[in-house]
Structure 1
Amino acid sequence: MALTVRDIMETNVPSVYPDDPIEQVVHTLRDHELPGVPVVNEGGRCVGIITESDLVMVGETEDLHLPHYIELFGGIVFLESTKKFEERLRKAIGAKAADVMTEDPITIEPDATVAEAGRVIARHKHNRLPVVEHGRLIGVVTRIDVLDALTAE
């Protein structure tokens, strides 16, 4: 019988709430030596995830600058999407978990096979997936958990 996500997932998973301050998120990541943490609401539903990359602005667009624009007939026409700027600005000034989290994260059900979990992790290039049952967080499965299970089979 094929192993399921339930067989290999970690069930004692720290999480944070959307209204938790960023400092609390960082402490949770550091105290548990985690690269990411699920965000749950009061009912235990997984509403987001925060990873280290959500907390650090890196890359070629490290500086927060306005998108290029031109003035035309007394108005401003942006030459590129403002969506990335708005997202970076939100994260740069974010004070709460909700400000920096990735909403509606990719999740997996506990009855999915380990092979399915591997495909989801590979397809989305994630290191960890929240495991949800009826929308509620019940665990996390990591890339290493999946690799260990697949090599043991």
Structure 2
Amino acid sequence: MQLETPIREIMTTALITVAPDTPVKEIQKIFAANSFHHLPVVEAGSQLVGIVSREDFRIFYEQLSAQSSGPTWSHMQLEHRRAKDLMTASPLCLDPDDTIGLAADIFLANKFHALPVIEDGLLMGILTTHDILAYSVGAGNLSEEEVG
């Protein structure tokens, strides 16, 4: 694999995003209908303000269950929650010219699986560990011994 390859060459650019005021129920539906695990949260003009992950939902539901007085209470709490209540605000981001090697180091050091890619303050894409693996295998850069 070419570790010096800029991530702009492999990042995902066809993104679904949500606004900070998007209801949690709508985010739930988006995750249920798609296989990705992270949703960028943007304000007008693609200005990134945060990211919501499936893991954020798991933690949120654990906290709700711990506080719960029953299913009705949990449902009522869910109705009033928005993306801004669950998101990781101001997440660590990559630049499109950052290299795959740098991104891999950041993923490993922080145990991340996805990072938004921004340029001039605007969301340009997202890079995931899946993108890096797909590039590695698709480019024929990993031998059968390395894969498995």
Same fold (TM > 0.5): yes
Partner of 2:24: 22
Match for residue 124 of structure 1 among 86, 110, 134: 110
Partner of 2:45: 43
Q: Which amino acid aligns with 1:138?
A: M
Q: Which amino acid aligns with 2:8?
A: R
Partner of 1:63: 66
Judge conservation of contact 1:16–1:40 (CA < 8 Å) in 2: yes
SS in 1 for 2:21: coil
CA distance in 2, matches of 1:124, 1:136: 23
TM-score normalised by L of structure 1:
0.73
CA distance in 1, matches of 2:58, 2:19: 20
CA deviations 1:96-148 (Å, max 9, x no partner) are 11011110111100000110110111111111111111121111111021234
SS in 1 for 2:124: strand
Query: Which is further off, 43-52 or 143-152?
Result: 143-152
**Highest CA radius of gyration, 1 or 2?**
1
CA deviations 1:2-34 (Å, max 9, x no partner) are 311100001101110001101111112222222
SS in 2 for 1:40: strand
Judge conservation of contact 1:114–1:150 (CA < 8 Å) in 2: no
Query: Which is further off, 113-122 or 28-37?
Result: 28-37
Identity of aligned pairs, percent? 30
CA deviations 1:28-72 (Å, max 9, x no partner) are 22222221111011121111011112112377xx6249xxxxxxx
Q: RMSD value over aligned CA atoms?
A: 2.4
Partner of 1:111: 97
Judge conservation of contact 1:115–1:150 (CA < 8 Å) in 2: no
Match for residue 81 of structure 2 among 72, 90, 95: 95
CA distance in 2, matches of 1:47, 1:35: 17
CA distance in 1, matches of 2:106, 2:45: 26
**Gapped regions of structure 2 (runs ≥ 5):** 69-76, 142-148
2:134 is the counterpart of 1:134: no
SS in 1 for 2:98: coil
Q: What displacement does 1:150 show?
A: 4.6
**Gapped regions of structure 1 (runs ≥ 5):** 66-91
CA distance in 1, matches of 2:121, 2:30: 22
Q: Which amino acid aligns with 1:29?
A: F
